[in-house]
Amino acid sequence: MLVEWQLHLYSSETYSYAPMSRAAVLGLEDGSAWWGEAFGDSTTASGEVVFNTAMTGYQEVCSDASYNGQVVVMTYPLIGNYGVFDRAAESRVPWIEALVVRELNATCREGTGELDTYLRTHGIPGISGVDTRALVRRLRSRGTIRGALVQVPPHLAHDPEAAAEAVAKARTATPLQSRPLVAESTGPVRQYGSGPKIALLDTGVKENQIRCLTERGAQVRVFPATAGARDVLSWAPDGIVVSNGPGDPAAIPQIAQSVKTMLDASLQRGATRPLPILGICLGHQLIGRAIGASTSRLPFGHHGSNHPVQDTRSGRVAVTSQNHEFQVDEASIPESSGFVVSARNLNDGSVEGLRHRTLPIRTYQYHPEGAPGPRDNEPAFDDFLRDVRDAVARR
């Protein structure tokens, strides 16, 4: 296949080329190899290759634990423009396996760090100069496939052996299902804010979920994903949030079991002593499985800030931020569960939310906290906390 000579990074101080220090090749399991210039860390990396269509928010993407195990291709060609800064980190570290961009840019903003440095600090490699559009078209038609990034000295750029090595590594990369992704991503117990007590099960939580809750006057206690349902319930929360996270919900039966226990507790308490539950992304999928629905893989996932989701009752369409590979299968939702589909994706009709007919249990496949992406859906947190306050008031 045609190989492309790359543009080198240039320094923001001198506006000039620096010689390429490392070349990189992204090999895919379909045998294709994509050459570019390496940035970030000098390690090799592998994982599922997915693409994200958000035009801003690369740092939020990199630091979203849901990407644990994935090599992320940004479709917007210029990445790094405004640098990196603490407030845009959605987690303590970036989680992506590697970053693939058309052009890495130096930051133009005062008081920010370089994306390059950020990734290098956290041991994450990147590749720039790739025809990312061609790559995305391939991913779109082949579905999600595995890839591996291999780095070589500049004089070995376009070396077929290196390309073959990358492809071989891609083919042997550990599949998502076989990696303890959630266990890797979850953090220690933490507590923030004051107000009604919200227990948040951290299966790879994005910080903005916590911020959206505390901003609205809630006390949030973050429980590691490994925490048992008993740990959570014994804290006597006024509401429970099951967060987003990486990987296949079917691959984490233990966590699914504790979510089911929490859900059962809420169902048992019923309308008289309600225990509101909010599920986001992986949390939505886990609750879906807990009510007996099945989950399955989407052809190439939903990753971006522009996904239209239609509310099944009002018909109104919301533009949402999304990042998931798996979906709750609508046909498998038991009629007896008491749950209905509250929203669907306008593009492919997939389930975007569940709602219990009578109890304050709501789930969202998309990210109401945005980051990156629209803030239009933050009312989901208002709804949840209203339920929580109602429940508290009823006691």
Partner 1 sequence: MKVLIIGSGPILIGQAAEFDYAGTQACRALREEGIETVLVNSNPATIMTDPGVADVTYIEPLTVEVLERVIERERPDGLLATLGGQTGLNLAVALAEAGILERYGVRMLGTPLRAIQQAEDREAFKQLLIEIGEPVPESTTAHSVEEALAFARRTGYPLVVRPAYTLGGTGGGFAKDDEELRTVSARGIAASPIGQVLIERSLVGWKELEYEVMRDAGDTCITICNMENIDPMGVHTGDSIVVAPSQTLTDKEYQQLRSAALRIIRALGIEGGCNVQFALHPDRAPSADPDAKVPYYVIEVNPRVSRSSALASKATGYPIARVAAKIAIGKRLHEIPNAVTKRTTAAFEPALDYVVVKIPRWPFDKFHGADRRLGTQMKATGEVMAIDRTFEAAFLKALRSLEVKGQGLLWESPAWDQVRDPEAFVERYLAPVATDDRLWRVFAALRRGATVDAIHARTHMDRWFLRKLAFVVRFAAEELQGKTPTPALLRRAKRLGYADSDIATLMGILTADVRGLRAQWGIRPVYKMVDTCAAEFEAVTPYFYSTYEQENEALPLDGPKAIVLGSGPIRIGQGIEFDCCCVQSTLALRDQGVASIMVNSNPETVSTDFDSSARLYFEPLDEESVASIIENEGGGLRVLTQFGGQTALNLADRIEALGGIVAGTSADAIGLAEDRRRFHEFATALGIPQPPGGTADSLGEALTIAQEIGYPVLVRPSYVLGGRGMEIAYGPEDLERYFGHALDAGTGRVLVDKYLRGREVEVDAVSDGTDTLVAGVMEHIERAGVHSGDSFAVYPAANLLPEERDEIVHLTQRIAQALPVRGLLNIQFIVEQGDRVGGSASRVFCLEVNPRASRTVPFLTKVTGVPLVRLATAISLGSTLRAEGFAPGLWPTRGLVALKAPVFSMAKLLDVDTYLGPEMKSTGEVMGIDHSFAPALWKSLVAAGLAPAPSGSVLVTVADKDKDEVSRIIEGLHWLGYDIVATRGTAALCRSLGVPVREIPKLADGDDAIIRLIRSGTCAAVVNTPTLGKDVDRDGFLIRRAAVEARVPCLTSLDTALAVVTALRASAVSYSVAPLSEYRAAEAVAAAE
Q: What span, in angstroms and rounded, lies between the C-alpha atoms of 163 and 256?
A: 40
With respect to partner 1, which residue has the nearer C-beta, 268 or 314? 314
Report the nearest approach of partner 1 to the CB of residue 165 (Å).
21
Torsion of CA 34, 35, 40, 43, to 10 degrees: 80
Q: What span, in angstroms and rounded, lies between the C-alpha atoms of 295 and 291?
A: 11
What residues contact residue 131 under an 8 Å CB cut-off, 6+ apart? Answer: 4, 34, 102
**DSSP string across 28-62:** ETTS-EEEEEEEE-SS-EEEEEEEE--SS-HHHHH
Distances, alpha carbon 219 to alpha carbons 9, 227, 240, 291, in Å: 45, 18, 11, 28
Residue 369: active-site member:
yes
Q: Which of 97, 281, 284, 325 is catalytic?
A: 281
Percent of residues in the chain assigned helix, strand, coil, to nearest 5? 30, 30, 40
Q: In this structure, is the dihedral angle defined by the CA atoms of residues 95, 100, 106 and 110, taken in order, positive or negative?
A: negative
With respect to partner 1, which residue has the nearer C-beta, 39 or 339? 39
Report the nearest approach of partner 1 to the CB of residue 90 (Å).
11
One-letter amino acid of 79: I
With respect to partner 1, which residue has the nearer C-beta, 137 or 269? 137
With respect to partner 1, which residue has the nearer C-beta, 265 or 346? 346
Report the nearest approach of partner 1 to the CB of residue 229 (Å).
34
With respect to partner 1, which residue has the nearer C-beta, 134 or 271? 134
With respect to partner 1, which residue has the nearer C-beta, 4 or 184? 4
One-letter amino acid of 55: M
Can you read off the two tokens belonging to residue 314? 């009002």
Report the nearest approach of partner 1 to the CB of residue 117 (Å).
15
Q: Which of 37, 48, 90, 369 is catalytic?
A: 369
Residue 281: active-site member:
yes
Q: What span, in angstroms and rounded, lies between the C-alpha atoms of 298 and 72?
A: 16
Q: What span, in angstroms and rounded, lies between the C-alpha atoms of 75 and 138?
A: 13
Report the nearest approach of partner 1 to the CB of residue 308 (Å).
5
Distances, alpha carbon 315 to alpha carbons 282, 309, 322, 345, in Å: 25, 9, 20, 12
User: How many CA atoms are closer than 13 Å to the CA of 38, on its beta-carbon side?
Assistant: 26
Residues that bind partner 1 (CB under 8 A): 2, 4-5, 7, 10, 12, 14-17, 51, 53-57, 60, 75-78, 81-83, 85-88, 102-103, 105-106, 108-112, 131-134, 136-137, 140, 304-308, 310, 314-319, 346-347, 370-376
With respect to partner 1, which residue has the nearer C-beta, 76 or 384? 76
Task: Give the CA radius of gyration of the chain.
Answer: 21
Report the nearest approach of partner 1 to the CB of residue 118 (Å).
13
Characterize 74-96 residue by residue with b for buried, 16 or more Cβ atoms within 10 angstroms of its Cβ, and e for exposed. Answer: bbbeebbbebbeeebbbbeebbb
Residue 212: active-site member:
no
Distances, alpha carbon 294 to alpha carbons 142, 249, 262, in Å: 24, 10, 19
With respect to partner 1, which residue has the nearer C-beta, 288 or 373? 373
Report the nearest approach of partner 1 to the CB of residue 324 (Å).
14
Report the nearest approach of partner 1 to the CB of residue 292 (Å).
30
Q: In this structure, is the dihedral angle defined by the CA atoms of residues 122, 128, 133 and 137, taken in order, positive or negative?
A: negative
Catalytic residue ranges: 281, 367, 369
